[in-house]
A and B are shown apart, each in its own frame.
Chain A
Amino acid sequence: MNLMMMLATTRRVLDQLRHDHRSIALILVVPALLLTAVYFLYENETLPPGVPRTFDRVGLMMLAIFPFVVMFLVTSITMLRERTSGTLERLLTTPIHKADLLFGYGLAFSIMAALQSLVATAVAYWIFGLDIQGSPGLVVMIAVINAVLGVALGLLCSAFARTEFQAVQFMPVVVVPQILLCGLFVARDRMNEALEAVSNILPLTFSVDALQEIATNTEPTDQLWMDAGVIVAIVVAVLVLASLTLRRRTA
Chain B
Amino acid sequence: MSHSAAPAPASPGAEVAVAASSLHVTRGKVPVLRGLDFSIHAGQITGLLGPSGSGKTTLMRAIMGVQVLTSGSIQVLGQPAGHPDLRRRVGYVTQSPSVYPDLTVEANVRYFGAMHRKGRAEAAEAIAAVGLDPQARQKTGDLSGGQLSRVSLACALVARPSLLVLDEPTVGLDPVLRADLWDRFRSMAESGTTLLVSSHVMEEASHCGSLLLLREGTLLAQLTPAELSQRGHSADLEKAFLHIIQDTAETQSSEKTVRS
Contacts and interface: CB of A to CB of B under 8 A. Distances in A.
B207 interface: no
A95 B88 contact: yes
Interface stretch (B1-9, B113-121, B168-176, B191-199): B113-121
A249 B67 contact: yes
Interface string B85-129: 001101010101111111100010001101111000000000000
B68 interface: yes
Contacts of B237: none
B93 to A, nearest CB: 8
A169 interface: no
A126 to B, nearest CB: 34
Contacts of B27: 251
A8 interface: yes
Interface of A: 4-5, 8-9, 11-12, 15-16, 19-20, 85-87, 89-96, 248-251
Contacts of B115: 5, 8, 91, 94-96
B178 interface: no
B66 A89 contact: yes
B82 interface: yes
Interface of B: 27, 64-68, 82, 84, 87-88, 90, 92, 94, 96-103, 107, 111-112, 114-117, 139, 155, 159
A184 B87 CA distance: 49
A238 to B, nearest CB: 25
Contact of B99 (A4, A9, A87, A93): A87
Contacts of A251: 27, 67-68
Contact of A15 (B68, B84, B107, B112): B107
A93 B66 contact: yes
Shortest Cβ-Cβ A-B pairs, 4 listed: A86-B98, A8-B114, A94-B115, A90-B98
A12 B110 CA distance: 9
A93 B112 contact: no
A85 B151 CA distance: 14
A29 B236 CA distance: 64
B76 to A, nearest CB: 12
Contacts of A16: 100, 102-103
B102 A20 contact: yes
A16 B63 CA distance: 31
Contact of A87 (B100, B107, B114, B117): B100
A1 to B, nearest CB: 14
